[in-house]
Structure 1
């Protein structure tokens, strides 16, 4: 019969002797316990007797001692029993705990199901508005409810955070990778920049507002009006008496965009003259109001120039929303340019009234005008959920070219300011009726290219 060896400490034991070894160890443990218990038998007896209740000792106690023990027992019982005030506090705590549990239960329910309900309601409202626009044969633009929901988004906070991030220092080893990715994504031509080396720009904001090389843009000297920026032509054409087209089929009010008439024009205006006729400087019927909207994409050159020689008279800063001015949003949201924050300069050129407007947008709250150091844009205006009253009543006005100030004027192609990201330039000007545009909607255009000419 094969015998197996079982390891045991430093020795090897046979499997048959394992039971005997275990029994010996148990006997040794029993003897050791007995020896410990036998060392102090009197002390052990005393300990056991002290822990048991001793009825005899109670009987031999004096009456005064028994009375004291009874008082102590009563005090112990009184302390053990809860008092009425403690009961009330305990019940209040229990009630508060129940209310807190109910609050968190309902909060969890709302957080779980409310977003789904809002999405369902939004989808129903979207489809209903779409069907109504189809039946009425009108452009499918945003309803009043959709406009308020869009304006309720925290776009100003997002824009301020983006501005802070763009101004942060970029480590030099990361610049070629970050700026290179941005250039390839948005088709940035870095070779025409004054500093084509990515390492020169210490932040994203510096890269966005990069200057161009001398001669990178040619100003058309023959054209009376040239493009003020690199971008895409969203819309152009003549302006009606009260409305002008934002894009094809989507209009906005001239008065909401420019604000109320100045005192001189308001004094001359009569009830029979429209707003568009009141702002014109020549009212003999030889001129007409025209407009041109140029959208600057994120990859475009972010500085803007003067389109002609003109002289500004007043500056108005409208502190509005910071909605996106992407062409898709411009097609969807009526009055977009009247809602957004914008800096408007009004003055005159050789053919009459002239206005130049830089419109802010999401992530483009900062609009900088080089000659206007007092201008501060993208200021904190508080949380206004869905509130966008007519911009006519919310603006700061500054009179320019007064007797105390130096005469301010711009030459054709002169540098005016910059955006921190892509945005929009809106030109609204008075020109002879035989003025013709040289551009088409959707065309890419650059600084200095001709916008139109006077037909002889």
Structure 2
């Protein structure tokens, strides 16, 4: 019965103009008219029970528009960072969709659905090869969550890929109903080299996710376009990030997928499907 309900919820998304709706949301969330943006923010806080005591700026009306409020910075003490040698920190607030092994290049999405690492990373066999038989963690951000993305582990940026695509919802119900969801939606892939090998942080767009930003390239999307865009960062020019550093943000909610190579990490047994997580908490430990 649940699966039937999921399909009924999902099928209108095939004909819904996802990019148009997201561009409209982009405009609405940047309106600076005081009465409008304050009502928008106040309504959101009430509906989602947002705790403004965690924010650096605790006055909701001090934000210039809704998106500034939505991507607000938190006080460092609000999100303690996992420490200790080999600790993998959760990059976002949200809930665990799935964790596991990338079995022969296939990543588990939900019951009955998987997708390939190659598809997720933009159709490149070369980009996918280092993650063959590696590990993945899929983390879902609800609208109420903190929407900045942080570094799971120390690393050096080696490349970035913007993969245009659809903008389906990424809710758990949609993940159960739409095959290869995360390899079909628009996404930004950040590739890093770490002491335990390659790491990818994949920022997956969704309907109403009107923009994805990184700290090194600023706004990557929009524009959406139709062509895969790639950037490479030579070793002598590449930015390095420490565990917990901010690396990007979603302007509205979505999903982050973290990939490691084989024999690199073990996810902690304390998290599993549906577990709530906060940015900075222990997600796993390195094996090396």
Q: TM-score, normalised by structure 1?
A: 0.57
Is the aligned partner of 1:241 residue 2:86?
A: no
Aligned position for 1:38: none
SS in 1 for 2:220: coil
1:117-167 per-residue CA deviation (whole Å, 9 max, x = no partner) reads xxxxxxxxxxxx97xxxxxxxxx9869xx87x7333211111101110110
Aligned position for 2:19: 156
CA pair 440-454 structure 1, distance change in 2 beyond 3 A: same
Report the alpha carbon displacement of residue 207 of structure 1 after superposing the two structures with TM: 1.0
Is the aligned partner of 1:191 residue 2:24?
A: no
Report the alpha carbon displacement of residue 206 of structure 1 after superposing the two structures with TM: 1.1
Is the aligned partner of 1:182 residue 2:182?
A: no
Aligned position for 2:213: 368
**Among candidates 139, 156, 159, match of residue 294 of structure 1:** 139
Aligned position for 2:255: 424
RMSD of aligned C-alpha atoms?
Answer: 2.7
SS in 1 for 2:188: strand
Higher-strand-fraction structure: 2
CA distance in 2, matches of 1:363, 1:330: 17
1:436–1:455 Cα contact (<8 Å) kept = no
1:360-389 per-residue CA deviation (whole Å, 9 max, x = no partner) reads 11110300111114x53132549xxxxxxx
Q: TM-score, normalised by structure 2?
A: 0.88
CA distance in 2, matches of 1:364, 1:399: 25
CA pair 186-412 structure 1, distance change in 2 beyond 3 A: same
Aligned position for 2:277: 445
Structure of greater relative contact order (alpha carbons < 8 Å, 6+ residues apart): 2
Runs of 4+ in structure 1 off by over 3 angstroms are 140-143, 149-152
Moved more, 156-165 or 213-222: 213-222
2:264–2:287 Cα contact (<8 Å) kept = no
SS in 2 for 1:215: helix
Aligned position for 1:208: 70
Q: For residues 300-449 of structure 1, what are the structure 2 equivalents within 5 Å?
A: 300-373=145-218, 375-379=219-223, 381=225, 394-401=227-234, 406-432=237-263, 435-438=266-269, 439-449=271-281
Structure label with greater radius of gyration: 1
SS in 2 for 1:331: helix
Report the alpha carbon displacement of residue 402 of structure 1 after superposing the two structures with TM: 5.0
1:170–1:204 Cα contact (<8 Å) kept = no
CA distance in 1, matches of 2:120, 2:36: 45
CA distance in 2, matches of 1:255, 1:303: 26
2:197–2:264 Cα contact (<8 Å) kept = no
Aligned position for 1:268: none
CA pair 436-178 structure 1, distance change in 2 beyond 3 A: closer
1:151–1:321 Cα contact (<8 Å) kept = no
1:246–1:330 Cα contact (<8 Å) kept = yes
2:214–2:220 Cα contact (<8 Å) kept = no
CA pair 162-196 structure 1, distance change in 2 beyond 3 A: same
CA distance in 2, matches of 1:160, 1:447: 28
Q: Which runs of 5 or more residues in structure 2 are unaligned?
A: none
Report the alpha carbon displacement of residue 178 of structure 1 after superposing the two structures with TM: 3.6
**How many matched pairs?**
282
CA distance in 2, matches of 1:396, 1:431: 27
1:306–1:416 Cα contact (<8 Å) kept = yes
1:307-334 per-residue CA deviation (whole Å, 9 max, x = no partner) reads 1101221111001111111111011101
1:354–1:430 Cα contact (<8 Å) kept = yes
CA distance in 1, matches of 2:287, 2:117: 26
